Structure 1
Amino acid sequence: MPPSAAARADSLLQHRSFVAFWLARTGSSFGFQMLSIVVGWQIYAVTGRAFYLGLIGLVQFIPSIALAIPAGHLADQYDRRRIVLLGQLIEWLAILALALLTFLHRADVLIILALVFIISVAKVIEGPALQSMLPALVPPRLLARATAASAVSGQAAMIAGPALGGFLYTTGADIVYLATGLLYLVSVAMVSSLRYEQAPPVRVPATLSTLFAGVRFIRERPDVLGVISLDLFAVLLGGATALLPIFASDILHTGPLGLGLLRAAPAVGALLVGFWLSRHSLERRVGMIMFVSVACFGVATLVFALSASLWISLLALFATGAFDMVSMVIRGALVQLDTPDDMRGRVNAVNSIFVNTSNQLGEFESGMLAAWLGAVPAAVLGGIGTLAVVGIWMWLFPGLRQRQRLDNGDVEQQEAAKVA
């Protein structure tokens, strides 16, 4: 039987809303990548000291850890679209301030760092709300494809954003800030226009119990705990990107161009696989597909670690990005679909802490291990560690290993049944 007119209209509206959401994510992602380039160049041009480049990372890291949990609580207590709009408007105003101060030659290093801190705080506040909006914009069966399409915009921004920012920087830092502000303005307009329906939240006071309800929820759901912790430990052990300068110089004997290609290879692999996943649905054996993808990520890391050829290393890094995209899409969709809407903000906040921690500690772990054992043994141990984590997690979380579908039923109905 053909779908009713109402169903067709609803589907069309959902599609239009996701397009607006995707354009918003794309605009803000490209803008942020361009912003990262111009801030780094400008601060180094003003100071000439690497110390201040480290401070850029610090003023972004502190809010991401300190404010993620409260931001998740806000996302579950208030209108998420308004939270996202508020965060992006604050970022836009701070970027315009950077442009104006740079044009007037009044942008000293402390002012730049202060405005970057404000932008970081706004991004942390909007993050859980933005992530929690996606399941309401598409049907559950399309969530994995929507997640992949959203990830594609992020990967494209990582590849092209810095290059575009660097090109525009030749005309002046204030021009880059203005272009970044324009992209954020597009994002604000798209978020304002999308159709988003959220059930009226039940307001509860911000106690320790409500703030950390996301942690408790994850601990009580084996599948959710399994995918989030798998990401934490696999990335913590398997990330070799921090060692790329060593491999490029001492092992592959290539120059800055080769290093640039090595850095771009994982993003290109993720981008191409993300395009494919945005057009094709994952229908069966999603648990095993995720575990196999993470295992292949570990194998590709081993190949990279043992390679002495630039082309083999590029292919291995391409594969790490491709397999990581598959597992990331499954993990992201599964967490969203297994979480009730009134908990998604707090769960996404905890997930973001895990992701940020795994990336940053993973680079630290790789650097320390390389300093102790050497770059090749460190990367080899990382690949082996990833394979070991996959084996252990398959044993610890048999339900996740046997999971067939991303959509495991209506979560809200399951929760209501438990309460009844």
Structure 2
Amino acid sequence: MSEKTATGQPVPAAPDKAAAPEPPAPTLLRDILSGSWMVSVLSIFVGLLAGAVLIAAADTNVQSTLGYFFSRPTDLLVSVWQTVSEAYLALFRGAVFDWEAQSFVRAVRPFTESLVASTPLILAGLGIALGFRSGLFNIGGQGQVILGAIFAGFIGYWLTLPLGLHMLLAIAAGIVGGAIWGGIAGALKARTGANEVIVTIMLNSIAGYLIAYLLKQEWFRQTGSANPQSRVVDESAALFPLLPEPFRLNAGFLVAVVATVLVWWLLERSTLGFEFRAVGENPHAARTAGISVGRVTLVAMMVAGALAGLAGAAQVLGTEQKLTMGIGGSLGFDAITVALLGRSRPVGTFLAGLLFGAFKAGGYTMQAQTGTPIDIILVVQSVIVLLIAAPPLVRAIFRLPAPVGKGAR
């Protein structure tokens, strides 16, 4: 019989203590990776819109029409449209297809240049994405790219080997160099609990100083040039071209395609990939299930570093052909934006690498033909990454519904 109060009303039932607790709030990394494809597309749109505003603001014709806006407002609108459309058309012509070129070769060369620029971004981005999926903020892509380039470049001009074997050995050396650099951070994280963000940032600096030191050593650079650069890699070690001159597209792009497929298989179909994802989702639950979190952390960082090292190898054996102080450029940091835009999925990272490669290739044409500062491309990329890292902000701007299970944030 149910109990009753003094007024004769039944006593409310006590809450069920066995009810399942509410799921914990998602972590920052999980929130970033949970954004929908619509969020990514809208982030690109907003980034291009922000770039359009800056392009218009920097143009002198737009500035002059702004002075008499209230008397003839259409002049400002026409000027803005002409300025922005010319800049973005030049960007497209420099990245995809130049319909004003004098020959078919020159018309399609921009697309191949976009593929050339995207190759190292895809490879390094895959390494960063794999780290993210494993719950690791690998900020050390820059140092891993440099180490991969050092190892691959040195083997490329130091040894004399038959054609084919020399190239494969140089590529393998780049993979090993990046894996070692990533493995250092992974070992420190697994053994001592050191924060991988701080460790990888420090390793970036060490890698930069290391290549600066090596390029001052005669035994390493093997050239009498006064410039800090190495000897050109042997032809037997260089990545073979996929198209004749004047195209620069080489086998590095094929390596990026193969790497994308292998990383997809590793993460989605292999036992090791399941362990990566399990540790990335919940390391405590993974440990309870019998997975060695320390071992997974070490292996994940080594594989991530190997992919970034492969990007460095593709850079020195493919387009640069020699080691210089700027061999890594900003590839390691750009790879973070590529991985975020690709939502840390192999296919998404591949497509994001193509997009950012097109931005890089087309930005030079846009600057040369319209005078638009190429720095605006960096602003566009930064805005895209900012919005990708904050899906609730994009949903708030476009009034998109929150994803199922995320609440009304």
Q: Scaled by the length of structure 1, what TM-score is found? A: 0.28
Q: Which has the bigger relative contact order, CA under 8 A and spacing at least 6?
A: 2
Q: Which has the larger radius of gyration?
A: 2
Greater helix fraction, Structure 1 or Structure 2: 1
Q: Scaled by the length of structure 2, what TM-score is found? A: 0.28
